[in-house]
């Protein structure tokens, strides 16, 4: 166990190779020294070591006779041979947290010949060694990414070299962010995160260049921002377009973010501007000499919304930038395996160490298609407090469980790392470009694009993992309406994608080694709980009313069913006039009339009123339950259930001491159960026809149709 741990955390030289090689020489030397001390003083070890162990102690001149007459020199040659054969354990090249089967030939050891067993059991690390002189090849092959170019084709007389270069194994990270209507504070957090990565990459590059050493954690880095709806009608000519205020805000915020990161007043050189078929492009060279490219999308020229921005950067970076390189297919495959897309939202905040942890997971398992970190919601207000607890138990319990018994089903697009080779596989990137033509497509493809992409990876046999130590912070909805609209997208899309996976479970189990029948059974149980959740919560409320207010069952039933039915009627009748055509649906909140917006908001107003009423009722229920527990004792069914539930949350919080205080908002979570597991589900299902984004919806100037 200790040897595995030493190799996994890269302290193999001192904590594994050193003791393994010194076991026999030190043991023999200690025996010789003990015999010498015993010969010089027969009472030296008296009372410490039993005398019968020294029944035949060799004389002082025995060593010369032993070496010359007993053929001990053969043993010395044997020791040198063992040291030479196991010389590789002194220079390990494995990645951090490597799997046991990758480190050792067999998982067990021989306790009789323990040093030989452990030394010979360690595998040789066959990872290619990156040479300093080969790193310059990366810069040559990167070329100028500022222009859309087509590589010149040769006449076929010369073919690209097929030999894979050591520099092809260097990690390449493309940070791909989708932005829309972020405010200045959100842009600041995002830009500071990018600038920290730029600084980290610069430090590693300079160290390699001038110290002539190869950093195993070195990576090439480039940032791409895809700005949706970046253009609006010009103030001077209605036939012309100009960038909107959000693009101007991004440009104006960069200097402030750079000054904050580098702790000195800085001015980043103005971006180069290029017209493109899809709108425009701004190219910055950051202080660390990495590039940040903002792709400004004009929705009159190219499809907008997040999924199509993701399609755009996948095909641009993996299709155009990689596959059109004039190199052999073998080299392209190796480069694709070591190319990662870091998907980000425009409000994310993270440190370079968080990205490094995700890259370590990718290096550890070549079959890993995506990896995600621990997402922390930031903001202020009761809704954010609720989400702090919700996110915490979601990561502590559900994501960790999925990671251990199978694999994670969803890697959120706000902070995830995707392997380029996995995205380029059959029926992943290509299928991700499917247009939404059916009602199910709008829910599964457009409303839950991140989860659908992970579903495609799972169905192709790739694994998705979760790293609890990779922290990222995102702005959570602070208002009730924005929160409900966000979850209106999440709830149906989650159900649709899980159902898609379950319907194709038989084939997925065959092709994916990480998904088993017990794991599918676990997901079926969760799906059943989701479907039965609203009815269960309703029955719980009926029983709680009976216990808290001392009324009969039917009276409690009427008290609960009437407001729920009224809310359902309001959601069915007082809804926005969303037409069936795609273009109107996507432009709804920009082009809707005031009356439509008011009627749409009436549903949320009713949800707020009912949520507040149920929260106050839940407070009374909690008090009533506490009084009942005092009467019935801790052996009652209610007490056992409450203690078990609270204990599971408390133990999970204790196992995550840095996040322990996330358990404090649990009381808000408890009060919000009727709202989140009953009203929200009804609101989401009834409004399936609404395909607007729901968050960061602001009034903007008219744009070209």
26 occurs within a structural domain: yes
342 occurs within a structural domain: no
**pLDDT tens profile 683-700:** 999 988 887 655 555 555
| Phi, psi values for residue 688, rounded to 5° | -60, -25
Largest Cα span, the chain: 109
pLDDT of residue 79: 80
Cα–Cα distance measured from residue 686 to residue 695, given in angstroms and rounded to the nearest whole number: 19
**Residue in 396, 395, 398, 652 with CA at minimum distance from that of residue 519:** 398
Indicate whether 159 pLDDT > 70: no
Cα–Cα distance measured from residue 660 to residue 132, given in angstroms and rounded to the nearest whole number: 45
pLDDT of residue 345: 93
387 occurs within a structural domain: no
For residue 93 the two structure tokens come to: 């090249």
Contact criterion met (CB below 8 Å) for 173 and 290: no
pLDDT of residue 102: 75
34 occurs within a structural domain: yes
Instruction: Please give the residue that has the higher pLDDT: either 69 or 207.
Output: 207
For residue 581 the two structure tokens come to: 């055509």
pLDDT of residue 116: 78
Instruction: Please give the residue that has the higher pLDDT: either 85 or 72.
Output: 85
420 occurs within a structural domain: no
HEC string of 449-508 equals HHHHHHHHHHHCCCEEEEEEEEEEEEECCCCHHHHHHHHHHHHHHHHHHHHHHHHCHHHH
299 occurs within a structural domain: no
The arithmetic mean of pLDDT across residues 178-183, rounded, is 90
| Local confidence band at 355 (pLDDT 50, 70, 90 cut-offs) | very high
Residues 6+ apart with CB under 8 A from 424: 318, 336
**pLDDT tens profile 273-300:** 999 999 999 999 999 999 999 999 998 8
pLDDT of residue 577: 39
* Paired residues of 273 in beta bridges: 282
**Residue in 241, 228, 371 with CA at minimum distance from that of residue 312:** 228
pLDDT of residue 597: 47
pLDDT of residue 142: 60
**pLDDT tens profile 376-418:** 999 999 999 999 999 999 999 999 999 999 899 999 999 999 9
In the chain, the number of structural domains is 1
pLDDT of residue 474: 95
**pLDDT tens profile 423-469:** 999 889 999 999 988 888 888 888 888 999 999 999 999 999 999 99
Give, in degrees to the nearest 5, the angle at Cα 131 between 126 and 137. 120
pLDDT of residue 581: 37
Select the highest-mean-pLDDT range: 34-38, 76-80, 432-436.
432-436
Provide the whole-model pTM: 0.83
Contact criterion met (CB below 8 Å) for 361 and 371: yes
Indicate whether 557 pLDDT > 80: yes
Q: How far is CA 250 from CA 187, 294, 419, 477, in A?
A: 7, 10, 28, 21
For residue 462 the two structure tokens come to: 């790739």
**pLDDT tens profile 303-348:** 888 999 999 999 999 999 999 888 889 999 999 999 999 999 999 9
Instruction: Please give the residue that has the higher pLDDT: either 588 or 573.
Output: 573
- Element containing residue 414 per DSSP (H, E): none
Q: Which of 274-283, 566-575, 625-634 bottoms out in mean pLDDT, i.e. has the lowest?
A: 625-634
Rounded to the nearest 5 percent, the helix, strand and coil shares of the chain are 55, 10, 30
The arithmetic mean of pLDDT across residues 594-621, rounded, is 79
The arithmetic mean of pLDDT across residues 563-591, rounded, is 61
Contact criterion met (CB below 8 Å) for 411 and 454: yes
| Residue the block writes with tokens 């319907």 | 503
Residue range(s) defining the domain that contains residue 26: 1-121
| Local confidence band at 138 (pLDDT 50, 70, 90 cut-offs) | low
Cα–Cα distance measured from residue 173 to residue 51, given in angstroms and rounded to the nearest whole number: 67
227 occurs within a structural domain: no
If you average pLDDT over every residue of the chain, what do you get? 84
pLDDT of residue 610: 94
312 occurs within a structural domain: no
| Phi, psi values for residue 349, rounded to 5° | -135, 125
Instruction: Please give the residue that has the higher pLDDT: either 60 or 110.
Output: 110
> How many Å separate Cα 425 from the centre of its chain?
20
The arithmetic mean of pLDDT across residues 566-590, rounded, is 57
> In the chain, pLDDT over 70 holds for what percent of residues?
86
Cα–Cα distance measured from residue 244 to residue 42, given in angstroms and rounded to the nearest whole number: 95
Cα–Cα distance measured from residue 667 to residue 615, given in angstroms and rounded to the nearest whole number: 11
């Amino acid at each position: 166990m200790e040897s595995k741990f030493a190799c996994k955390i890269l302290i193999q030289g001192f904590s594994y190779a050193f003791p393994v090689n010194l076991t026999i020489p030190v043991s023999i030397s200690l025996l010789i020294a003990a015999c010498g001390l015993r010969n010089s003083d027969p009472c030296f070890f008296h009372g410490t070591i039993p005398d019968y162990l020294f029944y035949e102690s060799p004389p002082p001149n025995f060593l010369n006779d032993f070496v010359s007459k007993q053929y001990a020199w053969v043993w010395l040659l044997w020791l040198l041979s063992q040291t030479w054969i196991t010389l590789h354990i002194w220079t390990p090249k494995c990645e951090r947290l490597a799997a046991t089967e990758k480190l050792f030939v067999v998982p067990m050891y021989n306790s009789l010949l323990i040093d030989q067993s452990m030394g010979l059991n360690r595998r040789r690390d066959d990872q290619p060694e990156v040479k300093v002189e080969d790193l310059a090849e990366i810069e040559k092959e990167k070329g100028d990414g500022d222009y859309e170019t087509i590589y010149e084709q040769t006449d076929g007389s010369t073919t690209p070299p097929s030999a894979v270069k050591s520099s092809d194994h260097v990690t390449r990270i493309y940070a791909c962010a989708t932005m829309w209507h972020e405010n200045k504070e959100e842009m600041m957090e995002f830009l500071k995160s990018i600038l920290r990565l730029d600084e980290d990459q610069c430090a590693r590059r300079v160290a390699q260049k001038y110290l002539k050493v190869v950093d195993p954690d070195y990576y090439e880095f480039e940032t791409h921002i895809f700005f949706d709806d970046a253009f609006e009608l010009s103030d001077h000519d209605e036939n012309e377009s100009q960038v909107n205020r959000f693009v101007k805000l991004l440009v104006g915020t960069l200097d402030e973010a750079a000054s904050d990161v580098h702790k000195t007043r800085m001015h980043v050189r103005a971006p180069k501007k290029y017209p493109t078929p899809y709108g425009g492009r701004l190219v910055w060279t950051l202080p660390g000499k990495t590039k940040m490219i903002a792709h400004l999308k004009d929705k009159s020229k190219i499809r907008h919304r997040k999924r199509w921005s993701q399609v755009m950067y996948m095909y641009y970076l993996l299709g155009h930038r990689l596959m059109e390189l004039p190199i052999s297919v073998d080299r392209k495959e190796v480069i694709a395996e070591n190319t990662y897309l870091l998907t980000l939202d425009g409000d994310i905040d993270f440190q370079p160490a968080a990205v490094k942890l995700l890259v370590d997971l990718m290096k550890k398992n070549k079959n890993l298609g995506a990896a995600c970190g621990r997402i922390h919601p930031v903001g202020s207000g009761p809704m954010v407090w609720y989400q702090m607890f919700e996110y915490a138990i979601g990561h502590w319990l559900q994501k960790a469980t999925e990671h251990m018994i199978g694999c994670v089903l969803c890697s959120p697009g706000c902070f995830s790392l995707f392997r380029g080779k996995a995205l380029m596989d059959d029926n992943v990137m290509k299928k991700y470009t499917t247009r939404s033509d059916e009602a199910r497509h709008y829910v599964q493809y457009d409303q839950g694009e991140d989860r659908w992409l992970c579903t495609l990876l799972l169905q192709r046999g790739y694994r998705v993992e979760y790293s609890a130590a990779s922290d990222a912070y995102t702005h959570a909805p602070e208002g009730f309406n924005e929160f409900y609209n966000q979850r209106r997208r999440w709830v149906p899309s989650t159900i649709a994608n899980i159902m898609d996976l379950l319907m194709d479970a038989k084939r997925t189990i065959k092709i994916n080694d990480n998904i088993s029948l017990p794991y599918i059974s676990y997901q079926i149980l969760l799906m059943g709980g989701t479907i039965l959740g609203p009815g269960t919560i309703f029955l719980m409320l009926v029983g709680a009313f009976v216990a808290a207010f001392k009324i009969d069952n039917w009276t409690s039933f009427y008290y609960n069913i009437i407001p729920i039915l009224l809310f359902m009627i309001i959601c069915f009748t007082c809804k926005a006039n969303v037409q069936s055509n795609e273009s109107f649906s996507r432009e709804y909140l920009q082009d809707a009339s005031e009356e439509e917006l008011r009627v749409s908001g009436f549903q949320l107003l009713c949800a707020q009123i009912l949520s507040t009423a149920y929260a106050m009722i839940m407070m009374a229920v909690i008090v009533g339950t506490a009084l009942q527990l005092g009467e019935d004792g801790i052996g009652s069914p209610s007490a056992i259930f409450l203690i078990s539930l609270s204990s599971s949350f408390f133990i999970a919080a204790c196992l995550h001491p840095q996040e322990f205080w996330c358990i404090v908002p649990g009381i808000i979570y408890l009060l919000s159960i009727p709202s989140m597991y009953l009203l929200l589900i009804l609101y989401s299902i009834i409004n399936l026809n609404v395909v607007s984004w729901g968050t960061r919806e602001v009034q903007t100037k008219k744009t070209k149709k």
